[in-house]
Amino acid sequence: MSVNSTLKSRQVFSGKNLSLLAPVFRRYRLRLILGFTALLGVDSFQLLTPRFIKRAVDALETGKASNALLLQCAGYILLLALGIACCRFLWRYLIIGFSRLLERDLRDRLVAHLLTLDSLFFQRHTTGELMALSSNDLAAVQLAAGMGLIASVDAMVMTLAALGFMAYINPTLTVIAVAPMPILAFSARFLSARLHRRFKRVQEQFASMTEFVRSTLSSVHLLKAYTQEQFQAEQFDRMGKDYIRHNLRLSVIQGLLFPFSGFIGNCSLLLVLFFGGRLTVQGTITVGDFVAFVSYLFMLTWPMTAIGWVTNLFQRGATSLSRIKHILEQEPELHDAVSSESFTVNSGTIRLNRLSFTYAGQADPALEDVNVVFKKGLVGVIGKTGSGKTTLCHILTRLYPVDEGVFFLDERDVNTLSLATVRATIAYVPQETTIFSETIQANIALGKMDASMEEIERVAKAASIHDEILAFGDGYQSRVGEKGVKLSGGQRQRIALARALLLDRPIVIIDDGLSAVDTETEHAILQQISSYLQGKTCIVISHRIAPLAEADEILVMDKGKIVARGDHQTLLAGNTFYATIYAHQTDSRARKG
Ligand SMILES: Nc1ncnc2c1ncn2[C@@H]1O[C@H](COP(=O)(O)OP(=O)(O)OP(=O)(O)O)[C@@H](O)[C@H]1O
Ligand SMILES: [Mg+2]
């Protein structure tokens, strides 16, 4: 389900969408008041200027123009121009600044909200889609709230005031001058509905392109290895062409709005030249009035043009705002228990009672009727690929919801405990290691930022990575990533293991966390960390039997079910799958040896 498919265009301008921005407007009200006062200053000074022009022209026409009078008019006009310049600087600084603050506020809210959402949400929305939202869409809202707001207020004030001054000169001529305007209003309304739809397409296409670039860059080595550069480039080119096509369709509408409003403005001018000229000849209005009238009409041309531009900005902003609002309205499906009581784990016993789990949109369950008790000590889990081992870990670390009466921690139903409480009792080494572009020290201390260097070194030694870290130029301060050291798969896994050991939590889950190191090293590491694991509930998942052989109990999984359980000897004697892979693994080791 994409952001757009759930949006109804009718909802775009609803007050609910705008209510999202209300707190920001309230917070920066002083800035806004000052900004709009400056804007009104610009408008008033602009509106006053033709009055002085009129005075000068009338004086010239009647032959009463003295040097002093002309100088006085010029002086006033200069003062007004200075006032316009100062006020224009002020409103730009204050109101464009406001729109940037609004953008920051919305971005912060978006990021903070995304961090509260769960795995289910991130399965439905691609990273590219969310990145497009926090770049293009936020920019569109910022533009609407800054320039859009200014232009609309400005256009409204200028229209009303210019019309007022024009009507003061001659009401009939004013009515004639504005006669073509309703055509403009109608066409702007008609075009803006199309504008909204086409802009939505453009944003959707941009989101797809962002996602494509992200996934291409993150797997660039693989694509090269498969010589897919050309294919990817062609695919991107096709997407780019589509993006251009959608943008051009949008430009057609935008392109129609501008010239059309300009054309209507010129029609008005034509009418004023003809009818106004006649009134001047007849002496109904003075030449000065005529010149001032034309000046006011020119002032009206800008708001008329602005109608198209502002409609455009607001449509884009509103479309983007509703996309952002849609995300902000998403609730985590994994409900957090509201519990103020503090909970400390005693025995660290996990009990699963008839646990079944099916991924959304999947027909077969990933876990089915799993009954197990994990107590202090080591439990190994083995099973074919896709048998549900990682899914089990994700349930244990509370990444997916469970029904009541299924998952107990220290005999407490986990649904009565907050997610953070449960997660804080578990040190988890996931199957897919994530290393951040940070120093090695920061990577190890991820869950315990204030850990001392001694603690960090101790866990690194236990995970057999200390010596390799020292061999990097800057030791623990070496940065990992593009501009820093490159880590091997095994090194990454051992850093992830050290990270989990540092947490010293009562439950430890290692999901195939040493698959990239050789069997001997894996065995050695598990021996070294055994002192860390003393008195803890440990669940170790592996495709190799050797590290599990000493476990108190080993679970064999197949198609989401626990199909056998027992210690090494029992399974060897009673489970064909276990006995077969054991024979296979010992055989290949013997051959290697
Ligand atoms: N996010 C997901 N959405 C839908 N189905 C999923 C998802 N993750 C896993 N599955 C499916 O659930 C089943 C169990 O997957 P899981 O990752 O738990 O297996 P596993 O035992 O950890 O496998 P491996 O040994 O390869 O790590 C598989 O059939 C897989 O295709
Ligand atoms: Mg797995």
- pLDDT greater than 60 at residue 3: no
- Counted residue by residue, the chain has a size of 593
In percent, how much of the chain has pLDDT > 70? Answer: 95
Cβ of 385 closer than 6 Å to ligand 1, yes or no, is: yes
Please list, in sequence order, all residues whose beta carbon lies within 8 angstroms of the beta carbon of residue 383, skipping any fewer than 6 positions away.
389, 555, 556, 557, 558
How many domains in the chain?
Answer: 2
The verdict on the CB of residue 569 being under 6 Å from ligand 1 is: no
The predicted pLDDT at position 187 comes to: 78
Closest CA to 176 of 277, 35, 299: 277
- Where a domain ends, among 328, 360, 384? 328
The verdict on residue 126 lying in a domain is yes
State yes or no: pLDDT of 139 exceeds 60: yes
pLDDT at 234 (0 to 100): 93
The model's pLDDT over 413-424, given as tens digits with 9 standing for 90+, comes to 999 998 888 999
- Which of residues 328, 361, 389 is at a domain's end? 328
In a domain, 354, yes or no: yes
Ligand nearest to the Cα of 123, by number: 1
Tens of pLDDT, residue by residue over 464-490, are: 999 999 998 889 999 887 666 788 889
Which residue's CA is the nearest one to ligand 1's atom 25?
385
Is residue 78 situated within a structural domain? no
pLDDT at residue 11 above 50? no
- Averaged over 167-182, what is the pLDDT? 90
- To test ligand 1's pocket by mutation, which of 121, 364, 387 has the most ligand atoms within 8 angstroms of CB? 387
Q: How confident is the model at residue 538 (pLDDT cuts 50, 70, 90)?
A: very high
E-assigned strand segments in 348-482: 350-357, 367-374, 377-383, 407-409, 412-413, 426-429
pLDDT at 258 over 80: no
Mean pLDDT over residues 82-109, rounded?
Answer: 93
Any atom of ligand 1 within 6 Å of the Cβ of 5? no
Q: Residue 512 C-alpha to ligand 2 middle, in angstroms? A: 7
Q: Is 359 helix (H, G, I), strand (E, B) or coil?
A: coil
Ligand 1, pocket-test mutation among 355, 389, 391, 493, most atoms within 8 A of CB? 391
Q: Is 60 exceeded by the pLDDT of residue 108?
A: yes
Residue 20 falls inside a structural domain: no
CATH number (domain holding residue 550) = 3.40.50.300
DSSP 543: S
Candidate from 390, 400, 562 with most ligand 1 atoms within 8 A of CB, to mutate: 390
Rounded to the nearest integer, the mean pLDDT of the chain is 87
- Give pLDDT, residue 340: 63
pLDDT value at position 10? 41
Shared domain check, 170 and 268: yes
Distance between Cα 564 and ligand 1 center (Å): 20
User: If you take atom 24 of ligand 1, which residue's CA is the nearest one?
Assistant: 385
Instruction: Report the distance separating Cα 102 and Cα 117, nearest Å.
Output: 23
Question: For 231-243, what is each residue's pLDDT tens digit?
Answer: 999 999 999 999 9
Range of the domain at 306: 96-328
Instruction: Output the CA torsion 158→164→165→166 (10° steps).
Output: 100
Atom of ligand 1 nearest to the CA of 387: 21
**Distance between terminal CA atoms of the chain?**
54
Q: Are residues 211 and 114 in the same domain?
A: yes
Quote the DSSP letter at residue 144.
I
The pLDDT of residue 2 is 44
Q: What is the CATH number of the domain that holds 297?
A: 1.20.1560.10
- Which of the two residues, 123 and 507, has the higher pLDDT score? 507
Indicate whether 145 and 258 sit together in one domain: yes
Would you say the CB of residue 389 lies under 6 angstroms from ligand 1?
yes
Pocket of ligand 1 contains residue 577 by CB under 6 Å? no
The residue contributing the CA closest to ligand 1 atom 30 is: 386
At 185 the pLDDT is 72
* CA distance linking residue 428 with residue 397, whole number of Å: 8
| Number of neighbours of residue 513 by Cβ within 10 angstroms | 24
Same-domain pairing of 374 and 291: no
Q: Which atom of ligand 1 is nearest to the CA of 384?
A: 25
Quick one: average pLDDT of 292-314? Answer: 79
pLDDT for 6 equals 40
- Please identify, by atom number, the ligand 1 atom nearest to the C-alpha of residue 431: 27
| Ligand 1 center to 384 CA (angstroms) | 11
CA 464 to ligand 2 centroid distance, Å = 23
Same domain flag for 267 and 387: no
| 5 has pLDDT over 50 | no
Asked if 293 and 175 sit in the same domain, the reply is yes
Among protein residues, the one whose CA lies closest to atom 5 of ligand 1: 359
Least confident of 44-48, 267-271, 306-310, 436-440: 306-310
Q: Whose CA is nearest to atom 31 of ligand 1?
A: 386
